[in-house]
Structure 1
Amino acid sequence: YYNLTGDVLISSGIIAYLGCFLAKYRNESISSWIGLMRQNDVPSSSTFDLRSVIGEDVIIRQWVIDKLPNDQVSIDNALILSKSRRWPLMIDPQLQANKWIRNSKGESLMILRLSQGNYARKLEVAISQGAPVLIENVPEVLDPLLEPLLQKAKFKAGNIVMIRLGDSTVEYNEDFRLYMTSKLPNPHYSPEICVQ
């Protein structure tokens, strides 16, 4: 428990800031943060492993059974995804994340594409029922209809939590989960999308 303070601080930094970066940059940042911990006498592990700090072996084993690749980067990405407050947009040209989400969420998963004419109506149903949704093939420019959802711009109407989706106001079920994947190998998303 001696290193807990620094390890949790580093884990929080990874989840909040490093999810969108490649492993090389993540490792450089972590090394820099460990150095800062040492300079400021904050106890932390000399070699950091996100899995050992916030991972649970039983859950990770299930992820691997559900077709998550069994390598450190994939497991770290899944840990970041599972602990983040934001809805994940996964760059997935090999469809590994897509396959993992499909397998892990099973039959309850609603799969949508922004090119579908009725995707907004289906999304409204999923939000109100608390169903998980996977939006596939996300382009570089997102439909503005998604903005309140990405920002989690919920509000209360009486005792009911609501969210606006285009012209509709939908009851928001807290069990709702959103996952997005893009097959583009090197997409250029605007900074506004990246911070949501």
Structure 2
Amino acid sequence: LQGLPTDELSIQNAIIVTKASRYGLLVDPQSQAKNWIQHKEKRLRTTGLHKKSFKTDLEDALQHGLTLVVEDVGEELDPVLDPLLEKRFMNVMNTEGSWSRTVLIADRDVDVGETFALYMTTKMANPHFTPELSAKVS
């Protein structure tokens, strides 16, 4: 189970997060989800919304098809994530003449690697996410 607790709720939540079409926002006060993701994913980058390197970490993970874990998010997310969460991807022809998928991150088109994945975690035990945010994530 790759470090996942064996209770039924944890297993059901893991299935939802891995099969959903939207990116996961995990309520994780005991860091169980974080540990599970670290066991599950091989090419992993971890960051936080308040880190100076956040935008660079995001762009790097996107371009190289890494799994990005954004830790300790609050009840609101940085608007820079909106195009990604809303999957506003564009297909563009690159300089080699092949098509690539891009997303607009802070006024810059960034290539999206095929294996890119995003998880966000919060340590708040009972967060009050807005309906708008809840509609964008799993």
- Tell me the TM-score normalised to structure 2 length: 0.91
> Cα offset for 1:162?
0.8
Match of 1:195 in 2: 135
Alignment pair present for 1:92 and 2:32: no
Question: Which residue number corresponds to residue 76 of structure 1?
Answer: 12
**1:47-126 matched pairs, under 5 angstroms:** 64=1, 66-106=2-42, 108-126=43-61
Residue 188 of structure 1 aligns with an amino acid whose one-letter code is H
Letter matched to residue 105 of structure 2:
L
Code of the aligned partner of 1:195: A
Counterpart code for 1:190: T
Which amino acid in structure 2 is aligned with residue 70 of structure 1? T
Deviations 1:117-174 (A, max 9, x none): 1211111011011001111001111100000111111011222211001121101112
How many matched pairs?
131
Secondary structure of the structure 2 residue equivalent to 1:195: helix
Which residue type is aligned with residue 94 of structure 1? Q
Task: Tell me, in whole angstroms, the C-alpha distance in 2 between the residues paired with 1:157 and 1:101.
Answer: 31
> Residue 176 of structure 1 is aligned with which of 86, 110, 116?
116
Give the RMSD, CA atoms, in angstroms.
0.9
> CA offsets, 1:98-124, max 9 Å, x none?
111112114x21001011012111110
Q: Residue 4 of structure 1 corresponds to which residue in structure 2?
A: none
Match of 2:96? none
1:19-50 CA-to-partner distances (Å, cap 9, x unmatched) read xxxxxxxxxxxxxxxxxxxxxxxxxxxxxxxx
User: What's the offset of the Cα at 1:74?
Assistant: 0.6
One-letter identity of the residue aligned with 2:58: L
1:157 is matched with: 92
- The 5-angstrom pairing of residues 9-24 of structure 1 reads none
Alpha-carbon distance in 2 for matches of 1:71, 1:188: 25
Q: What secondary structure does 1:193 align onto?
A: helix
Is it true that 1:135 corresponds to 2:70 in the alignment? Answer: yes
Which has the higher relative contact order, 1 or 2, with Cα contacts under 8 A spaced 6 or more apart? 2
Partner of 1:58 in structure 2? none
Ranges of 4+ aligned residues in structure 1 off by more than 4 Å: none
Structure 2: runs of 5 or more not aligned: 94-98
CA–CA distance in structure 2, aligned partners of residues 69 and 118 of structure 1: 31
Which has more radius of gyration?
A: 1
Structure having the larger proportion of residues in helix: 1
Question: Which residue is 1:25 aligned to?
Answer: none
